Structure 1
Amino acid sequence: MLSILGRRNDMTLPPLMNYVDGRWTNEGVSERYVQRHPATNEVTAELPETDAETVGVAVQAARRAFDQGPWSRMKARDRKQLFRRIVDVIERHADELSWLQTLDNGMPIAYSLNGRVSARNAVDIFDHYGGWIDKINGETYPDFHSNMQFMSFREPVGVVGAIIPWNAPIMMFAMKVAPALAAGCTVVLKPSELAGLCALRMTQLIEEVDLPPGVLNVVMGGGGTGRAIVEDTRVDKIAFTGSNAVGAYILSRSGQNMKRTTMELGGKSAAIVFPDCDVEAAGTHVMGLSSTFLSGQVCSTTSRALVHRSVYDRFLDAAARQVKTIRRGDPFSMDTTSAALISEKQTRRVLEYVDSGRADGARLVFGGTRSGGELSAGNWVEPALFADVNNRTRIAQEEIFGPVLSAIPFDTEEDAIALANDSGFGLAGTVYTKDISRAFKVARAVRTGIMGINGYGVVPSSPVGGFKGSGLGREGGWPGIEAYTEIKTVMINLDA
């Protein structure tokens, strides 16, 4: 039977404690929760379940560091120097962090070491935002009707509550913490209770650069810990990546003190396949997004394949061939291509969606069952492909977050655009075609925050985020800085 305990025992884990006001502590922690590895359900760690009172201590530390400490008023040159040291320390430990990520959430090690969610990508994110520190500028405005000089300044928004998901813990840590610190904010971060080890190790490494106490705080725990951050009126902004249900809750509660919010939520993204593309390559790529890497547990996964009817069968055949190439098993093996689902709860949820698809009349081409043999103790589900899916059914409208792809035929370009837009989400998407005019027309017509042509990716300098139910605001690039700043207008009466 597959086991990850040997790997866990060979690793040096970070302190299994909270990090508050510049020190590691278990003060105020009376309960702990168990984190299990998705590939085997073996225990990887026991971590603090932080209550509201202890969260309040962390928030107060961040509040004091922002209001009274040097960080928000630090000279750009000094803050840039600290960022350089953060980049250096993460880069030195990049491989270690990537192996820890595989222990944290079951990501196949080949992706954790080299993919877009690797520690090296986190290095690039911190490096990118370090470069913005001395470029966070305001503006001056021309005289309008009086001898008054108007100018604007960008000031840090304040204390940030950052809540990150389990599926890319290193990258998500960087995407929240780097722009917030670059802008001069202080942070209280809560990792997912399903994968908290990377955030603790990243914090331990950043501790080496001697940030002022209270600038970065990390509290562990589940929903109650997150609620305490969201509901604390001393927090000025919430930065969240996760489910729509939690996002809606955060919005409803943030009105208490008009918290600013940035939220990247769910997706039901469409891959649109036209007959003039390389259909076999498109089928391989789209099915691969659901069957390899995190097995569809990525919010930007194109989980709807809208395929022109003339090449529909060829697409399905290519998808079937792709699934035969995947390798599941030991996540620490370089040969493994695909991850288990994150939890037993998520496994049951995905299997329920498979049952729903059948009940709604879709044709299950392959997959959709729980894996047996040496994988039976873990959260493994065989990648599934549904054909002839009605776009109004649950498997086409709701985010499954698992290895399930729904294929839907279309006849015209207008049909494809209408189907892609017939969704409550709008996070990502792709269009596969050799016709560049069509590619741009469709990319602009689909209401989604990210749209790729013959593939897509993410880089630190490019904004990401969603339309409709997929979120508010943007992360990445200059919009990531804007999200952590407020604009102040100052006017001077030159006649006084």
Structure 2
Amino acid sequence: MRAIDPAAPAGLLIGSDRLTRTSLDPHPHIYPATGAPNATVALAGAAEMDMAVAAAKEAQREWIALNVDQRRDMLIGLADVVREHLDELAELNTLDYGVPISYAGNAVMLDQFLRHFAGYVDKPQCSSTPVSGSDDLNLIEREPLGAVGVIAPWNGSLVVAASCVAPALAAGNAVVFKPSEVAPLAALRFGELCLEAGLPPGLVNIVPAAGDGGDALVRHAGIAKIHFTGGGHTARAILRAAADNLTPVVTELGGKSANIIFDDADLDTAATRSAHQGPLMQSGQSCACASRILVHETVYDAFTERFLAVIESTRIGDPTDPATVFGPVISAAALDRILGVIGEAVDSGSGELLTGGRRLADDALAAGYYLEPTVLGNVDNTSALAQTETFGPVVSLIPFAQDDEAVRIANDTPYGLNAFVHTQDLTRAHTVARRLQSGSVWINQGSRISPQGPYGGYKQSGSGRTGGLEGLREFQQVKNIRIGLG
């Protein structure tokens, strides 16, 4: 595992410079597995955001002046460098927020997205259409926005670098990338790799920041667009701040995903997938967490038995151990909040506690922020437990009797990011998937975000998409050019 000197501040990356002294006090980074500091992080304020935006605008002019072959090859070269450092990036991901190294393969996504979007650089982005009543030449072109701001959550800096930075660069933009001060280490290393791969200094700036720095980025007049991944409360503040300059904002927000287990599902497979897509993956700290498991009443008991067996046999421990499947939650405050959610659900009768619900007190884990994976049965879908994103290793089992009831319960939430369906009936799979109010529907599998497929939410789970042609176009603007030939 990569060693980090807590006394040496992790500096911002602006242009080609690492700034360890900034206008704000540094942030002590706490490793969730031990509760102890493992790094000191320099934070960006308004002054540093000014510097980063200026560097980005200058680098963007240099970037777009290169021909398409050069830009394509440089992005492929960056993917090659990332591939050479996959293990290092995964380790830094683990040190960032305690995600088990067995789950820390987000760096692989970074490699995949860079290669995919590099392929768009030299492909046609324009079209020509006939104009009514004229022989004029009517061109529709797509151009870069300029300097864009990308704001990542603590639980996914490399995922956001993959899904947002890769298409932004392919579209011809420069990026000011703000990882959370809670988990900036992998993102900072990615910025260094951009320089090592030969990208123009300032094309990718990495500026860890808390609320004040993030607000300065969103309000900056030099930023052409903001892409934010995180929670709804912060998204509302960003939308209000961006309104001053009419800066467009794309959001990928939270979820309260339904996972429907029909009576014909392969229960052993569904139980294993549901455990890993639910409380186990990143300790439930994922927008894609399938936290509401809807089970047909005729297989409810059989599924529950299998599901609890998977949960209770899970290897919990040191996130740096490849055998560990389940790690800590992000902080002491998160631990207390999640325990409060569980306590309220039990006290209010919203559900029956089937397993978990306690902080782990094992000597090897007591200093960290470990919480048992928790399952509540026969949960009322109208309860706060079922309607509010917990962002922790807590899932609800909800029985249903008919397909229509399952769809109604699944859609009865303000969110719509992901939905999951387990069935062997192809007609049912297609019919139900089309009725679910969700940006992504996964049939007989967990969430597998790919660069080829658009990803984003319905309702309060956000607007806009990452991935695919839709994700590329989030970072482009359209120009119509009409040439008179008459």
Q: TM-score, normalised by structure 2?
A: 0.96
**What is the match of residue 108 of structure 1?**
100
Equivalence for 2:14:
20
> For 1:14 and 1:318, how far apart are their aligned partners in 2?
48
Measured in 1, the distance between the counterparts of 2:404 and 2:429 equals: 13
SS of equivalent to 1:132: coil
Q: Is the 8 A contact 2:127 2:139 kept in 1?
A: yes
Map of 1:231 onto structure 2: 219
1:90 match: secondary structure? helix
Counterpart of 1:73 in structure 2 is 65
Is the partner of 2:380 in helix, strand or coil?
A: coil
Letter in 1 for 2:464: G
Q: Of 23, 26, 38, which aligns to 1:32?
A: 26
Q: Does 1:185 align with 2:173?
A: yes
Is residue 441 of structure 2 the alignment partner of residue 451 of structure 1? yes
Residue 290 of structure 1 contacts residue 405 of structure 1 at CA under 8 Å; is this kept in 2? yes
8 Å CA contact 2:128–2:140 kept in 1: the answer is yes
Q: Pick which of 173-182 and 439-448 moved more.
A: 173-182
Q: Shift of residue 27 of structure 1? A: 5.0
Indicate which of 40, 55, 61 corresponds to 2:55.
61
Identity within the alignment, %: 36
Q: Distance in 2 between matches of 1:269 and 1:59?
A: 36
Q: Is the 8 A contact 1:242 1:264 kept in 2?
A: yes
Q: What is the CA-CA distance between 1:231 and the residue it aligns to?
A: 1.2
Deviation per CA, 1:337-384: give whole Å up to 9, x if none: 112101111111111110121133111111111110221111111111
1:474 is matched with which residue? 465
Task: Please state if 1:367 is matched with 2:361.
Answer: no
Q: What is the deviation of 1:94?
A: 1.2
Alignment partner of 1:215 is 2:203 = yes
Q: Which runs of 5+ in 2 are unaligned?
A: none
Match of residue 460, structure 1, among 434, 448, 451: 451
Residues 11 and 102 from structure 1, CA distance in 2 versus in 1: closer, same or farther, beyond 3 angstroms?
farther
1:395 aligns with 2:385: yes
Within the candidate set 377, 402, 416, 1:412 is matched to 402
**Mean CA deviation greater in 162-171 or 229-238:** 162-171
Residue 293 of structure 2 corresponds to 305
Task: Check whether the contact 2:279–2:289 (CA below 8 A) recurs between aligned residues.
Answer: no
Pairing partner for 2:109 from 121, 125, 128: 121
Structure 1 unaligned runs (5+)?
1-6
Whether 1:149 and 2:137 are equivalent positions in the alignment is yes
CA RMSD after TM alignment: 1.8
Q: Residues of 1 paired with 2:214 and 2:302: CA distance?
A: 46
- Pick closer, same or farther for the CA change 1:416–1:14 going to 2, 3 Å: farther
The SS at the match of 2:274 is helix
The residue type paired with residue 486 of structure 1 is Q
Query: Contact 2:6 / 2:37 at 8 angstroms: preserved in 1?
Result: no
SS at match of 2:301: helix
- The whole-number CA distance in structure 2 between the counterparts of 1:150 and 1:471 is 34
CA distance in 2, matches of 1:486, 1:105: 36
The answer to whether the 8 Å contact 2:146/2:174 transfers is yes
Cα distance in structure 2, aligned partners of 1:448 and 1:462: 14
Identify the residue that residue 44 of structure 1 maps to in structure 2.
38
**Aligned residue identity for 2:456:** G
Aligned positions of 1:274-353 closer than 5 A: 274-353=262-341
Aligned 8 A contact 1:291 1:326 in 2: no
Match of 1:492 in 2: 483
Aligned residues: 483
The code of the aligned residue for 1:387 comes to: G
Deviation at 1:15, TM superposition (A): 7.2
Residues 1:140 and 2:128 are matched in the alignment: yes
Cα displacement (A) at 1:111: 2.2
* Distance in structure 2 (CA, Å) of the matches to 1:390 and 1:222: 37
Residue of structure 2 aligned with 1:270, choices 236, 248, 258: 258
Instruction: Give the whole-Å Cα distance in 2 for the aligned partners of 1:485 and 1:83.
Output: 18
Letter in 2 for 1:81: D
Question: Where does residue 4 of structure 1 map in the other structure?
Answer: none
Corresponding residue for residue 386 of structure 1: 376
Question: Equivalent residue for 1:92?
Answer: 84
The corresponding residue for 1:3 is none
| Shift in Å, 1:388 | 1.2
Partner of 1:427: 417
- For structure 1, which segment, 335-344 or 48-57, has the greater mean C-alpha deviation from structure 2 after superposition? 48-57
Q: What is the distance in 2 between the residues matched to 1:12 and 1:246?
A: 29
Displacement after TM superposition at 1:89 (Å)? 0.9
1:164 equivalent in structure 2: 152
Cα distance in 1 for partners of 2:145, 2:387 equals 36
Q: Are the equivalent residues in 1 in contact too, given 2:6–2:40 (CA < 8 A)?
A: no
* Post-superposition offset of 1:85: 1.5
Structure 1 runs of 4+ aligned residues shifted over 6 Å read: 10-15
1:221-260 deviation line (CA, Å, top 9, x unaligned): 2111111111112211111111111112212222222222
Give SS of 2:284's match.
coil
Determine if contact 2:46/2:212 at 8 Å carries over to the other structure: yes
